[in-house]
Amino acid sequence: MILPPGRPLARLLGRIVLHGAWIALALAAAILAGVCIGETAIPVGTVWRTLANKLFDAGHALDRIDQGIVWNYRLTRAIVAACCGAGLAVSGVILQSLLRNALADPYLLGISAGASTGAVLVTVAGVGAGAVSLSLGAFGGALAAFLLVALLARASGGGVGPRAAGQIVLAGIAGSQLFNALTAFMITRSASAEQARGIMFWLLGNLSGARWDNVGMAVPVAVAVTSVCLWHARALDAFTFGTDSATALGVPVRRVQALLIGCASLATAVMVSIVGSIGFVGLVVPHAARFIVGVRHVRLIPAAALMGAMFLIAADVLSRIVVKGQVLPIGVITALVGAPVFALILVRRRPAR
Amino acid sequence: MMLAAHDLGWSARGAPILRGVSLEVPEGETLGLIGPNGSGKSTLMRLLCGVLKPEAGEVRLAGEPLARMSRRRAAQWLAMVEQQAETADRITVRDAVELGRTPWLSPLRPWSAEDDAIVAEALAVVEMSGLAARDWATLSGGERQRAHIARALAQRPRILLLDEPTNHLDIHHQLSILQLVATLPVTTVVALHDLNQAMSCDRLGVLQHGRLVALGKPQEVLSPALLRDVFGVRASFLTDPADGARIIRFHAVS
Ligand SMILES: Nc1ncnc2c1ncn2[C@@H]1O[C@H](COP(=O)(O)OP(=O)(O)O)[C@@H](O)[C@H]1O
Ligand SMILES: [Mg+2]
């Protein structure tokens, strides 16, 4: 391969290393905070020593229980929260850019509901029932939901465009309701009481089940989706003036749409299959990130991923400490933040003239 | 031929919008497209730049079929200023113009000082340098139009397609944009509303009900008979004493 003039490329690499470094640091700090803070606070030193023991066999003397809590519960939980936050936020960025719609979000568009249905279908039908088949089921459900909602929005005259803002959100509501009903139907029909309780608990959005095998799934997906999206940052920028304009700017629109919507669905599906559906992350975080770094996707995507990760870790910490002795569903926290932001966007999008 | 359309046809939901349009634009020419509202000017432009796929016929760029070029390469050849392209994003004028560099960049060919220079020049050409940092939402219609033109220029195309670029512009900027288009060393196809402005094109194509009904030198094309048949107006021709140019004055057919 012939590399283009070296200077800009070298500068680009420099920037990637520099920004990558501080983003990784910020992420590590957020995860550390997520591990330490809880109903019983764990000193940072204990966390360090646990990590040293587990990763490098350092052999520090530690309380077995503390070490177990840090390694098997708090750490996995924080990492999965970070991945979910990043994945959902990046999905939100993708959907908002491609649909030219400030209100697009995996949850509002019914993609999360579709993913839940797919995952529940796999669970009650007992197909494999491993983490992978669960995610695959969720992925199928997510894609089906997106297609249904997109078709419905188009049929209602909205299609994909600036005037379709209301249409696609309405279609999303219809889609969510439909898929939630399907999920409820399947649970009542086919799940045992035991299964049903487990599923309902998971559906509300719950991180307490996050273990290392979930980490093994969530991390690669979050990293891959963010990277693919970042690779297409310029193409996403080119949608600023709509799909025709993107075509005229040399973007293979259909291919980019299919790939990136696929990415958004995959991220949503995998996260939903691990933690249930958590609303508003994909809506709130991209807007907050835009507010800070602007609309250009080269900066927006990493910013949204980082802020999404931090937001969900913070929401998880809050959900554990707000009510003494109880863990709130994390979706409650994100909705408490998200609903007002949603209202704010609605008000701000009121036609100017 | 720089740009050639052969027997183009396109329809929407079974209704033919454009039929049997063939035209050739040699390098450096400015071809004007005129026709009443709904005659198919925008549709033809969208076919020429590949935003729409023709149902019949084909478009060729310097002999090569557009349909076989990658989108990216096609965009390195041609730039399009659409009739309406709006955004609710909070971008600045410079952001909008920088989009023009999209077909020349890739993750491995990042933004460089050269791109900065091209963007600055494009802004200067449309007299928008002073507004580069302004929010898109605060621009007037004419300023947005000029920014779109700058975006197309930043694309460094060989062929420029402009769909009614002088809409929204004040008279000073109408004239300066048309003059700019005439002096740019690129091949240009421009849809125009003002028939007097169309007189300054090298050649004119006239669309009516989706067919190209005339193609030739402005003086030959804009005859009283054609103006009556296609536009439904009576025309008298005056001569500007300043430079001897022909001016059309329109009257309703009574
Ligand atoms: N996507 C479409 N669907 C249905 N009708 C269309 C579509 N695009 C254009 N038309 C119709 O085709 C005709 C020509 O449109 P257009 O090319 O925009 O004309 P012009 O630019 O000359 O005013 C109009 O009657 C318009 O309503
Ligand atoms: Mg038009």
- Which pLDDT does position A349 carry in this prediction? 64
Which residues does A205 contact at the CB level (< 8 Å), separation at least 6? Answer: A275, A276, A277, A278, A279, A329, A330, A331, A332, A334
Lowest mean pLDDT among A48-62, A75-89, B16-30, B117-131: A48-62
CB contact under 8 A, B95 and A248: no
What whole-number distance in Å separates Cα of residue A310 and Cα of residue A273? 20
Classify residue A190 by burial, with Cβ atoms within 10 Å: 0-12, 13-18, 19+: middle
CA B58 to centroid of ligand 2, rounded, Å? 21
Task: Report pLDDT digits (tens) over B195-237.
Answer: 988 988 999 999 999 999 999 999 899 988 999 999 999 988 8
The minimum CA-CA distance between B129 and chain A, rounded to whole Å, is 21
Closest to A226 in 3D by CA, of A92, A25, A79: A92
C-beta of B35 in contact with ligand 1 (< 6 A): yes
CB atoms within 10 A of CB A339: 14
Query: Which pTM value belongs to this model?
Result: 0.90
CATH number of B3-222: 3.40.50.300
Which residue among B13, B21, B43, B207 is best mutated to probe the pocket of ligand 1, counting the most ligand atoms within 8 A of its Cβ?
A: B43
Task: Give the bridge partners for B4, in sequence order.
Answer: B24, B60
A123 to each of A182, A199, A270, B36, how far by Cα in Å? 14, 9, 14, 62
**Helix or strand holding residue A90 (H, E):** helix A75-98
Q: How many other C-beta atoms lie within 10 A of the C-beta of residue A146?
A: 24
Tens place of pLDDT for every residue, chain A, 353 residues?
Answer: 444 556 778 888 888 899 999 999 999 999 999 999 988 888 888 899 999 988 888 888 888 888 888 898 899 999 999 999 999 999 999 999 998 888 888 988 899 999 999 988 888 877 665 767 888 888 999 999 999 988 888 887 654 444 556 788 888 889 999 999 998 888 888 767 777 877 877 777 778 888 898 899 999 999 999 999 999 999 999 999 999 999 999 999 999 999 999 999 999 999 988 888 888 899 999 999 998 999 999 999 999 999 999 999 999 999 988 888 888 888 888 989 888 888 887 787 654 43
Query: Hey, whose CA ends up nearest to atom 1 of ligand 1?
Result: B12
Q: What is the pLDDT of residue A350?
A: 54
CB atoms within 10 A of CB B185: 7
Asked if B82's CB is within 8 angstroms of A252's CB, the reply is no
pLDDT of residue A352: 42
* Predicted-complex ipTM score: 0.92
CA distance B235 to B229: 11
A182 φ, ψ (degrees, to nearest 5): -60, -45
Which ligand has the shortest distance to the CA of B163?
Answer: 2
- Check if B82 contacts A (Cβ < 8 Å): yes
Q: Which residue numbers of A have CB closer than 8 Å to B's CBs?
A: 3-5, 7-9, 11-12, 100, 102, 162, 231, 234-235, 237-238, 240-242, 244-245, 247-253, 290, 294-296, 349, 352
Q: What angle do CA A169, A249, A345 make, to 5 degrees?
A: 25
The separation between CA A265 and the C-alpha centre of its own chain, rounded to angstroms, equals 10
Q: What is the model's pLDDT at position B206?
A: 96
Q: Is the CB of B43 under 6 A from ligand 1?
A: yes
Identify which of A176, A169, A199 has the alpha carbon closest to the alpha carbon of residue A113.
A176
Provide the token pair at A43: 């000193």
pLDDT at A158: 57
pLDDT at position A220: 96
- B108 and A4 in contact by Cβ < 8 A? yes
The shortest C-alpha distance from A212 to chain B (Å) reads: 33
Domains contained in chain A, CATH given: 31-348 (1.10.3470.10)
Q: Provide CATH 3.40.50.300 ranges for chain B.
A: 3-222
Of B85, B112, B105, the closest CA to residue B96 belongs to: B85
- In chain A, the residue whose alpha carbon lies closest to the alpha carbon of B71 is A250
Residue of A12, A234, A245 lying closest to B82 (CB–CB): A245
Question: Which of B50, B58, B65 is closest to B20 using CA atoms?
Answer: B58
